[in-house]
Amino acid sequence: MWPNGARCVVAITVDFDGRSNEAGKGLAPLGIHAAGRYSARRGVHRHLRLLERQGIPATFFVPGYDARTAPEVVRDIVQAGHEIGAHGYKHEGMLLPSDEEERRLILSHQILGDLVGSAPVGWRSPSGQKTSTTLRVLRSLGYLYDSSDKDFDMPYLLNFSDGRDPMVEIPNNTLSLNDTPWYNVSMTPSSEVEAQWKAEFDEIHANRGFFLLTYHPRAGFGSGTPARAAAISGLIDHIKLHRDVAFVTLAQLCDWVRGRPEEYEEVTV
Ligand SMILES: [Zn+2]
């Protein structure tokens, strides 16, 4: 079922969520609203060092606005060998009119493609919002996968009713395998968050499943700061105790699923 005969596949995904998050809400990045700036100034590089020490690849989802305001940081992510996916322009957390949504999808696509040197193949919705426009535009831009939905615990194929080539949906678990609810809602200490993530991994591994973690390298609601970054590292240490695990980027996982469509569920959109 998984690459290299692995029992369980693991994807580490990092949503950049820098200044774009506040800018999209019309907030100046000052004082309490400066937590997004931490991503570009500290958090991303802390996590690049962590991932290098661990020797594993990750997928970074980057809003176009953050790529435009911190291009050197995005270049460093690419230089380190990680995948770049698109994540809105100003981290739009609201539903937009169809033409404006399309304009922003194209804008971010162009910014990231110009900066990275190759077009992103994956997209994740900022704040989880999608409309009937989203996949149509993404498909026309050549995207191969979306990682926004919450409706399944395995990747699956997105077939288009008009017969265009399918995309792959790589769902994410926004609650227990995402840092924001723990640090922004329940205010859980990082040691307990790490224990929760390990418990999720153990169950998924036992069931030959797919483990996808999402975190944010920012201050405030994210994991950019030292002890919270250490919780990520502790989780990876735990996962690596299992020798039958494959660490993959989402682009690699997408390729894997597209190569054996008969093994995965299909949904027509
Ligand atoms: Zn985000």
pLDDT for position 132: 87
pLDDT for position 240: 98
pLDDT of 94 > 90? The answer is no
Distance 262 CA to ligand 1 centre (A): 32
Higher pLDDT, 14 or 162: 14
Tens digits of residue pLDDT in 205-224:
999 999 999 999 999 999 99
- The CA distances from residue 84 to 24, 107, 122, 199, 227, in Å, are 21, 15, 8, 28, 25
Confidence of residue 163 (pLDDT cuts 50, 70, 90): confident
pLDDT of 72 > 90? The answer is yes
pLDDT for position 48: 98
Distance 15 CA to ligand 1 centre (A): 5
Q: How far apart are CA 35 and CA 29, in angstroms?
A: 8
Confidence of residue 204 (pLDDT cuts 50, 70, 90): very high
Confidence of residue 96 (pLDDT cuts 50, 70, 90): very high
Distance 166 CA to ligand 1 centre (A): 25
Tens digits of residue pLDDT in 245-262:
999 999 999 999 999 999
Q: Kindly give, in sequence order, each residue whose CB lies less than 8 Å from that of residue 181, ignoring residues fewer than 6 positions away.
A: 174, 175
Distance 163 CA to ligand 1 centre (A): 31
Query: Tell me, which fold does domain 3-268 have in CATH?
Result: TIM Barrel (3.20.20)
Distance 63 CA to ligand 1 centre (A): 8
Q: What DSSP state is assigned to residue 165?
A: P
Distance 111 CA to ligand 1 centre (A): 17
Buried b or exposed e, range 178-190, using 16+ CB within 10 angstroms:
bbbebbeeeeeeb
- The CA distances from residue 175 to 128, 186, 264, in Å, are 12, 11, 24
Mean pLDDT confidence for 224-239:
98
Distance 23 CA to ligand 1 centre (A): 13
Q: How far apart are CA 20 and CA 107, in angstroms?
A: 14
pLDDT for position 4: 87
Distance 127 CA to ligand 1 centre (A): 6
- The CA distances from residue 106 to 141, 163, 179, 213, in Å, are 8, 23, 29, 27
Task: Indicate the average pLDDT of the chain.
Answer: 96
